[in-house]
Amino acid sequence: MNFDFSDDLKMLREQARKFLAGRCSRQVVRKVFEGGAGYDSELWAEIARMGWLGTAIPEAYGGSGVGYDGVCVLAEELGYVLAPVPFSSSIYLAAEAILIAGSEAQKQKLLPPMTDGSRIGTFALAEGLGNPHPEHIKAKVASGRLTGTKMPVPDGEIAHFAVVAARDETDDIGLYVVELSGQGVARTRLKGIDPARNQAKIVFDGAPAERLEGARGYAVIGELIDRAAILMAFEQVGGAQACLDMAKAYAMDRYAFGRPIAAFQAIKHKLADVYVAIELARSNAYYGAWAIAAGAAELPVAGAAARVAATDAFHLASKENIQTHGGIGFTWEADCHFYYRRSKLLAASIGSAPYWKDRLIAALERRNAP
């Protein structure tokens, strides 16, 4: 039994933790949160220089080929500090879509500038309210031109290009690479629940679109979000752990009725429940890390389970962190709300908890077909 990350990856985790603790304090997060830049471009460049962006991208395309378990380790640390960078959009989603569905030539062309951070990608799936579903995809490509509206597009204003889910002339669903600064693209910022992360509405009106050659049918989107679910689960577990650490630290220092509030069972039992939720989510995420690194057939079940457990754990941890802080917890100046907002933003992206619970049971029904 070897159900743990390798020593090399643990070392990577330590390095990432140390770097981010020094470089990405919550003051840094607040600056993006209040400033409206959408991300910290210098932090992004530093992360790129350390090679993090190419962790799961093969060397042939400019990456390091360390593997998906490496991305898991980094995602957890980025989640812990709420790093204001488009890591999930560009790496879990856009780069992953290209790796899954791109031709060799497309990979050669598109991936190297993503691994060095010079180009940011994103994934444009949603067209308004609703969870991922083929019927919600109305955007259309005809003669290599994309028309339609995508919103919300995560990091839509800061990305250089998007991988867009759209239908072709035969109504088949495909993935298309579209330059976002080119003709026929109009981007507007959407007011978001978490201003430390950018979200946009993008109107395409005859924008040039290049199909990822392997993307035929909706199934590729399912595969993409199953994989992203695992990577994002680590980000969520990291965020949840930060909430528990914050809540405990506050409770140990806050005195009421002559004792630290951490000595009262109302607080102890609350945080014990948060701890349990995080450990169950962490174990599910670990199994996801194994499934994605091993390319296991279990991946749809593992991805959905990791997603469900991590989404619920982060939401629980973030709300109980505010509750533990009491009045100060719901002020703008305290940082608790950063996590509360991020937990719900991550819960919404790639589909919310009820959708993933249904998806998990559907995957189990397929696996255990009578």
Partner 1 sequence: MDFHDTPEEAQFRAEVRRFLEDNATRKSTTETAHRGRYIPDANMTQSLARAKEWQAKKADAGFAAITWPKKWGGRGGSPIEQVIYNQEEANYAVPRGVFEIGLGMCIPTMMAYATSEQLERHVRPALRGEDVWCQLFSEPTAGSDLAGLRTRAERSGDDWIVNGQKIWTSGAHFADFGIIVTRTDPNVPKHQGLTFFFLSMKSPGIEVRRIKQISGTSNFNEVFFTDVRVPDSQRLGKVGDGWKVSLTTLMNERLAVGDAPGPDFDDIFALTRSLELDEGPAIRNPAVREKLADWYVKTVGLKYTKFRTMTALSRGQTPGPEASITKLVSASKLQEIASCGIDLMGMSGGVMDGEIAPMEAWFQEALLYAPGMRIAGGSDEILRNIIAERVLGMPGDIRPDKDVPFRELKSGKR
| Cβ–Cβ < 8 Å for 288, 281 | no
- From the CB of 31, what's the least distance to partner 1, in Å? 31
CA 62 to chain CA centroid, Å, is 22
For residue 322, the minimal CB distance to partner 1 (Å) is: 18
State yes or no: residue 178 binds partner 1 (CB under 8 A): no
Query: Does 262 sit near partner 1 (CB under 8 A)?
Result: yes
How many Cα atoms within 13 Å fall on the side-chain side of residue 274? 28
The site string for partner 1 over 69-88 (x = CB under 8 A, - otherwise) reads x-------------------
Taking CA atoms, 15 is separated from 114, 157, 238, 290, in Å, by 22, 30, 15, 22
3-state secondary structure of 40: coil
Query: Quick one: DSSP state of residue 190?
Result: P
Asked if 251 interacts with partner 1 (CB under 8 A), we say yes
Integer angstrom CA distances of residue 105 from 173, 189, 235: 21, 33, 31
How far apart, in whole angstroms, are the C-alpha atoms of residue 217 and residue 219? 6
Decide if residue 356 touches partner 1 (CB under 8 A).
yes
Considering only 41, 260, 323, 334, the residue that binds partner 1 (CB under 8 A) is 260
Q: Is 308 in the site for partner 1 (CB under 8 A)?
A: yes
338 near partner 1 (CB under 8 A): no
Residue 370 contacts partner 1 per CB under 8 A: yes
User: Contact 164/178 with Cβ under 8 angstroms?
Assistant: yes
Of 27 and 368, nearer to partner 1 (C-beta) is 368
Kindly write out the interface string for residues 228-247 of this chain, putting x where it contacts partner 1 by CB under 8 A and - elsewhere.
----------------x---
Q: How many Å apart are CA 210 and CA 175, to the nearest integer?
A: 8
What's the Cα-to-Cα distance from 39 to each of 28, 83, 93, 167, 195, rounded to whole Å? 10, 9, 17, 31, 10
Output the smallest distance, CB 356 to partner 1, in A.
Answer: 8
Please identify, using beta-carbon distances, which residue of 196 and 305 lies nearer to partner 1.
305
**Nearest approach, Cβ of 286 to partner 1 (angstroms)?**
6
How far, in Å, CA of 295 to CA of 289, rounded?
10
29 vs 74 by CB, closer to partner 1? 74
Binding site for partner 1 (CB under 8 A): 1-5, 69, 244, 248, 251-252, 259-260, 262-263, 265, 267-269, 271-273, 275-276, 279-281, 283-284, 286-287, 289-290, 293-294, 304-305, 308-309, 312, 354, 356-358, 360-361, 364-365, 368, 370
